[in-house]
């Protein structure tokens, strides 16, 4: 690339010109920011303004542009210049809109604007233009792991968009659980009766399609590589192995039914007349094959009374069974009660439930069952005692608040829940699943962090369930169906469709050397200066996406296409050898240092705000849009994720005379909202250790504060800032001013 | 009445829900209740009856025949229709309650001492005898229900209202001796008789 040439543009539109002294700010960009070409414009995002920048790029060879106007989140389309590094100073949402338009506020508002221009210029000087990752894979085949309803749907949907599929199924037959059902809950109007599963049509569609390579009786012996260039070693039971080149993976490995033998108190194992829902499906299939009604398993006798026990071993608060609701079982029991009622309305069918939960259009299905005479009793079953060919079902009636019993049920169906087939727990490889079984690895990834997808809670694969349900913590591998949360057929099909489309995106992005979600299209990638690396392994351990492996000398090996560009490695690195071309320890550090720090006696403290660009920064912007005012003493720098915050920024800021540092990241924990899953949690942990540093600097621990912020905290954020500014006022100005 | 009860018991052994569905007005709606409890929360008489509609419906499904039919709940319904308006499943709860009351009365299981039951019977008798409601007679019946002395007391308490009604010609004391009748009281009684017959036949009551 040619010699870098810098230019800064100051917009005076949207009231910026009236509120701040543009000439003074422009001078600052020139003198302090050391930008050769500084222009002011009345309306920069207009066609004329954009053309002005464009012609400078063209005619004068400008390579680096700083725009002091609105937030970096506004006018992104107007200010989009290919092959130009861009820094934005937020004078609108970040300055004039959050400050009162009064004479006494004028000075501090002006200082705020000046600082943001200094910061943008400083950042620009440190930026390089990202060229895209050189590590590009060009395979676009989709590997679908699991041949149940989710996997088959994923395969069919991938084929519809023209992508090739490799499907691996552990069993000899495709179809999974759906193939074991007699009928399924309807997904279309009128939601009145069980319908055909439709699984055969799906199986046929997959097996007849030359674009789908099906391996049955097969498992993954190893998965290596990265999006666009995964290598899947497929081991077939017969002993042969095959290696397939893969672009992205959909893991649809489904669930195992919670083992009803763990429920002896509900009669499981004590009588053949006590079955789980799968048991009833096989009874129904056998009966249908013979053209007979369902018979009592113990003696083949007529079934006159069936009791369905909901939440069997589910929603359990004793810690012995599943603590969660599997969500599909109420509808399934309703469907199974209809098997009996549709064949013979005289059969008594009682569903004993604590809360009937019928997602989708289940409410209509429920009503249809009531019309057919299925009895629904709100109660909690306390015991099932088989005697002879009958079972006594005792329960607590929760409406009448009394103990009750059904004396002679011919069949008792236990609605047990779903246990995810999510492979081994990589944090605890010896852990058993809810059924007490020791899981075997499904993906057999050769990643440094472990063989399978990380789990979140209850053994389900971690998917970003609040915002991006298919995103797992392994780039290019998408979880679909009950492997990521309990669900029914309708939800699994929708899930599989979504996940496979994400997989296709990942493969396409990998070919272009671009980031996948959430920084999709980002061309920057982490670069490491290995000669400075101390092999501390922090980056390889902390990367939320397992993108970094280790070589034999335990140096980090970056797999760029597995990287989501969050910068958590950059935040982790104690020797600061990891950086991105347009986002590095230097680009942020330079911004921090560029701020003008008034002396101790000025009564003008400076508070650094490092705000997550996904939630906290937009919330601050929106606070500005709503004209929620906050202190003029804060200087906000957006960061890719709080996980990318390197503690050197904090110590630099405090050494430089800042009076306080606010870190704003997303909610962490089991219901995390961090776009990069663990970034905010890691930041919190790292900052908990900064107290020591503060003490050695003889500073109050309050000078660094971490906050959990959501994008909706538009009203709360200005208050937090105001409160913190008052706190700083109380503890007094930093004694560190004037030394840097 | 007792015979009818035994016959119902025999026919619907162990299945009170089916009995209600076939013999109680709007009884086939009972199975559609989803036990949300909105009716119970909406009833202005909430604390004053034994069982809420929600409980009555649950008891019907649980086969608690005697408890349901001898409950005072149906008799306490004032037909405000709050529950009907609010029921998410659109059950005609008021009608079901009255249907249950009527059925309990037919079987002789209704709570004998319930004042609203007594009033209902008096009203029906008063109305069907002449084809018109004789308000004066009905009022006196209600006043003197608990004996002569208590009746005089109630009468005395209401004297001002009574006087005003008299002066406004809203009440005629001669109605007591020469009640108004509708043009064809006999015809009305014959019509009601026929209606009973039809109902009995439809609901399967033996004659």
Decide: helix, strand or coil at residue A9.
strand
Give the span between the Cα atoms of A163 and A226, in whole angstroms.
18
pLDDT reading at A165 higher than 90: yes
Pairing of strands A212-215, A165-168: parallel
Q: Are A163 and A140 in contact (CB under 8 A)?
A: yes
Distance between CA atoms of residues A255 and A245, nearest Å = 27
Q: Is residue A467 scored above 70 in pLDDT? A: yes
Domain segments of chain B: what residues?
Answer: 2-112, 115-195
Compute chain A's Rg from CA coordinates. Answer: 31
Chain B partners within 8 Å of A371 (Cβ): 31-32
CATH assignment, A597-740? 3.40.50
Residue count of chain A, please give it. 740
Write a three-state SS string for A272-312: CCEEEHHHHHHHHHHHHHHCCCCECCCCCCECCEEEEECCC
Q: What band does A570 get if pLDDT is binned at 50, 70 and 90?
A: very high
Q: What is the mean pLDDT of residues B33-58?
A: 92
What is the pLDDT at residue B14?
61
State whether residue A9 sits within 8 Å of chain B by CB.
no
Mean pLDDT taken over chain A: 94
Residue A26: is its pLDDT beyond 90? yes
Give the single-character DSSP code of A179.
G
Give yes or no for a contact between A349 and A308, defined as CB atoms under 8 angstroms apart: yes
CA-angle at A187, arms to A181 and A192, nearest 5°: 85
| CA distance linking residue A594 with residue A579, whole number of Å | 20
pLDDT interval class at A203 (50, 70, 90): very high
Domain covering A260-416: architecture: 3-Layer(bba) Sandwich (3.50)
Query: In terms of CATH architecture, what is B2-112?
Result: Orthogonal Bundle (1.10)
The CATH code for residues A142-257+420-512 is 3.50.50.60
Tell me the C-alpha distance between B132 and A277, whole Å: 62
Model pLDDT for residues B61-98, shown as the tens digit of each residue: 988 999 999 999 999 999 999 999 999 999 999 999 99
State yes or no: pLDDT of A588 exceeds 70: yes
Measured CA to CA, the distance from residue A667 to residue A639 in angstroms comes to 16
Distance from CA of B178 to the nearest CA of A (A): 52
**Looking at beta carbons, which residues of chain B come within 8 Å of A397?**
58, 62
Contacts of B89 (CB under 8 A, 6+ apart): A367, B32, B33, B34, B36
Q: How far apart are CA A72 and CA A70, in angstroms?
A: 7
Minimal C-alpha gap between A344 and chain B (Å):
15
Select the more confidently predicted residue: B12 or A512. Answer: A512
Residue in B17, B40, B62 to test binding to A, most A beta-carbons within 10 Å: B62
Considering only CA atoms, which of A230, A228, A389 is closest in space to residue A302? A389
- CB contacts < 8 A, A to B, total 32
Is A367 within 8 Å of B31 when comparing Cβ atoms?
no
Confidence band (pLDDT; 50, 70, 90) for A466?
confident
Query: Would you call A366 and B34 a contact, using CB atoms and an 8 Å cutoff?
Result: yes
Question: What is the three-state SS of A46-101?
Answer: CHHHHHHHHHHHHHHCCCEEEEEECCCCCCCCCCCCCCCEEEEEECCCCCHHHCCC
Which member of A366, A370, A400 has the closest CB to residue B58?
Answer: A400
**ipTM higher than threshold 0.90:** no
Q: Where in chain A is the domain with CATH 3.50.50.60?
A: 142-257+420-512, 260-416
- The CA distance from B54 to the nearest CA of chain A, in Å, is 8
Residue A135 is predicted with a pLDDT of: 80
Range of lowest pLDDT (A141-145, A250-254, A517-521): A517-521
Which CATH superfamily groups domain A1-129? Answer: Lumazine/riboflavin synthase (3.40.50.960)
Provide the pLDDT confidence category of residue A2 given band limits of 50, 70 and 90.
low
Q: How many CB atoms lie within 10 A of CB A100?
A: 12
Length of chain B: 207
pLDDT of A136: 82
Distance CA B62, CA A291 (A): 33
Contact A14, A70 (CB under 8 A): yes
pLDDT, tens only, A673-725: 999 999 999 999 998 888 888 988 889 999 999 999 999 999 999 999 999 99
Q: What would the DSSP string read from start to end of chain B?
A: -HHHHHHHHHHTTT-HHHHHHHHSTTGGGGGG-----HHHHH-TTGGGSSS-HHHHHHHHHTT-HHHHHT-SHHHH-----HHHHH-TT---HHHHHHHHHHHHHHHT-S-TT-HHHHHHHHHHHHHHHHSS--HHHHHHHHHGGG-HHHHHHHHHHTHHHHHHHHHTTS--GGGGTS----TTHHHHHHHHHHHHHHHHHHHT---
DSSP conformation class of A426: T
pTM of the model: 0.89
- Write the burial class of residue B63 (CB in 10 Å: 0-12 exposed, 13-18 middle, 19+ buried): middle
Instruction: Give the model's pLDDT for residue A233.
Output: 97
Closest by CA to B127, choosing from B172, B170, B176, B182, is B182
Q: Give the mean model confidence (pLDDT) for residues A74-92.
A: 94
End-to-end C-alpha distance for chain A, whole angstroms: 34
Contacts of B30 in chain A (CB under 8 A): none
Say which range, A23-27, A132-136, A723-727, B150-154, has the weakest mean pLDDT. Answer: A132-136
Structure tokens at A350: 């009682």
């Amino acid at each position: 690339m040619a010699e870098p040439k810098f230019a800064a543009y100051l917009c005076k539109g949207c009231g910026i010109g009236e509120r701040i002294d543009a000439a003074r700010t422009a001078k600052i960009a020139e003198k302090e920011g050391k930008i050769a070409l500084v222009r002011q414009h009345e309306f920069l995002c207009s066609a004329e303004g954009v053309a002005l920048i464009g012609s400078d790029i063209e005619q004068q060879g400008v390579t680096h542009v700083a725009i002091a106007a609105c937030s970096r989140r506004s006018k992104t389309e107007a200010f989009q210049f290919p092959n130009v590094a861009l820094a934005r100073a937020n004078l609108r949402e970040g300055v004039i809109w959050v400050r009162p338009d009064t004479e006494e506020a004028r000075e501090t508002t002006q200082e705020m604007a000046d600082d943001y221009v200094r910061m943008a210029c400083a950042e620009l000087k440190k930026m390089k233009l990202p060229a895209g990752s050189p590590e590009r894979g060009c395979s676009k085949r989709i590997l679908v792991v699991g041949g149940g309803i989710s996997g088959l749907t994923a395969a069919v949907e991938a084929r519809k968009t023209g992508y090739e599929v490799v499907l691996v199924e552990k069993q000899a037959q495709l179809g999974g659980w759906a193939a074991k059902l007699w009928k399924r809950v309807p997904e279309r109007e009128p939601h009145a009766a069980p319908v055909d599963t439709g699984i055969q049509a799906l199986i046929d569609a997959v097996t007849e399609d030359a674009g789908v390579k099906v391996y049955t009786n097969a498992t993954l012996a190893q998965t290596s590589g990265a999006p666009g260039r995964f290598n899947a070693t497929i081991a077939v039971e017969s002993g042969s192995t095959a290696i397939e080149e893969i672009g992205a993976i959909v893991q649809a490995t489904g669930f195992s039914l919670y083992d009803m033998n763990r429920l002896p108190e509900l009669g499981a194992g004590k009588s053949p007349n006590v079955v789980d829902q799968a048991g009833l499906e096989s009874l129904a299939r056998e009966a249908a094959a013979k053209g007979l009604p369902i018979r009592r398993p113990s003696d083949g006798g007529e079934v006159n009374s069936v009791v369905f026990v909901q939440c069997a071993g589910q929603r359990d608060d004793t810690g012995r069974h599943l603590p969660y609701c599997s969500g599909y079982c109420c509808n399934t029991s309703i469907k199974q009660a209809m098997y009996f009622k549709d064949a013979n309305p005289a059969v008594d069918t009682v569903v004993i439930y604590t809360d009937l939960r019928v997602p989708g259009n289940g409410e209509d299905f429920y009503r249809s069952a009531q019309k057919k005479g299925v009895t629904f009793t709100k109660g909690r079953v306390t015991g099932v005692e088989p005697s002879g060919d009958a079972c006594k079902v005792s329960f607590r009636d929760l409406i009448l608040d009394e103990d009750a019993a059904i004396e002679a049920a011919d069949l008792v169906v236990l609605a047990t829940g779903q246990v995810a087939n999510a492979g081994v727990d990589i944090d605890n490889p010896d852990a058993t699943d809810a059924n007490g079984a020791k899981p075997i690895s499904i993906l057999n990834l050769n990643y440094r962090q472990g063989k399978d997808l990380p789990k979140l809670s209850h053994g389900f694969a971690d998917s970003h369930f609040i915002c991006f349900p298919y995103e797992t913590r392994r780039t290019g591998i998408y979880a679909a169906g009950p492997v990521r949360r309990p669900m029914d057929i309708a939800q699994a099909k929708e899930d599989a469709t979504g996940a496979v489309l994400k997989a296709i995106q990942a493969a396409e992005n990998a070919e272009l050397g671009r980031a996948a979600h959430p920084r999709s299209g980002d061309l920057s990638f982490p670069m490491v200066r290995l000669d400075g690396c101390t092999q501390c392994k922090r980056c390889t351990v902390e990367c939320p996406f397992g993108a970094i492996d280790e070589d034999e000398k335990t140096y980090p090996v970056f797999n760029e296409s597995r990287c989501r560009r969050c910068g958590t490695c950059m935040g982790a690195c104690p020797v600061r050898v990891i950086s991105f071309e347009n986002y590095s320890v230097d680009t942020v550090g330079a911004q921090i240092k560029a701020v003008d720090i008034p002396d101790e006696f000025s009564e003008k403290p400076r508070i650094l705000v490092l705000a997550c660009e996904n939630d906290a920064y937009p919330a601050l912007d929106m606070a500005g849009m709503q004209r929620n005012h906050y202190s003029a003493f804060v200087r906000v720098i957006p960061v890719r994720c709080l996980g990318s915050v390197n503690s050197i920024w904090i110590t630099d800021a405090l050494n430089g005379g800042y009076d306080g540092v606010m870190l704003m990241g997303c909610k962490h924990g089991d219901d995390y909202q961090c776009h990069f899953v663990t970034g905010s949690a890691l930041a919190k942990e790292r900052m908990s250790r900064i107290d020591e540093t503060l003490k050695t600097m003889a500073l109050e621990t309050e000078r660094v504060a971490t906050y959990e912020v959501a994008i909706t905290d538009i009203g709360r954020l200005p208050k937090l800032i105001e409160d913190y500014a008052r706190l700083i006022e109380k503890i007094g100005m930093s004694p560190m001013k004037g030394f840097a | 009445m007792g015979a009818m009860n035994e016959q119902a018991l025999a026919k619907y052994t162990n299945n009170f829900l089916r009995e209600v569905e076939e013999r109680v007005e709007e009884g086939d709606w009972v199975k559609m209740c989803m036990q949300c409890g909105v009716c119970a929360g909406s009833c202005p008489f909430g604390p004053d009856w034994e069982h809420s509609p929600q409980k009555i419906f649950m008891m019907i499904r649980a086969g608690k025949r005697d408890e349901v039919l001898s409950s005072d709940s149906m008799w306490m319904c004032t037909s405000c229709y709050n529950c009907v308006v609010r029921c998410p499943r659109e059950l005609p709860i008021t009608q079901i309650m009255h249907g249950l009351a009527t059925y309990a009365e037919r079987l002789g299981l209704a709570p004998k001492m319930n004042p609203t039951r007594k009033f209902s019977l008096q009203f029906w008798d008063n109305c069907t005898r002449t084809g018109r409601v004789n308000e004066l007679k009905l009022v006196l019946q209600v006043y003197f229900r608990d004996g002569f002395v208590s009746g005089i007391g109630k009468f005395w308490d209401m004297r001002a209202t009574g006087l005003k009604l008299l002066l406004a010609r809203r009440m005629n004391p001669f109605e007591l001796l020469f009640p108004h009748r509708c043009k064809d009281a006999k015809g009305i009684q014959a019509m009601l008789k026929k209606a009973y017959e039809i109902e009995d036949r439809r609901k399967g009551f033996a004659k």
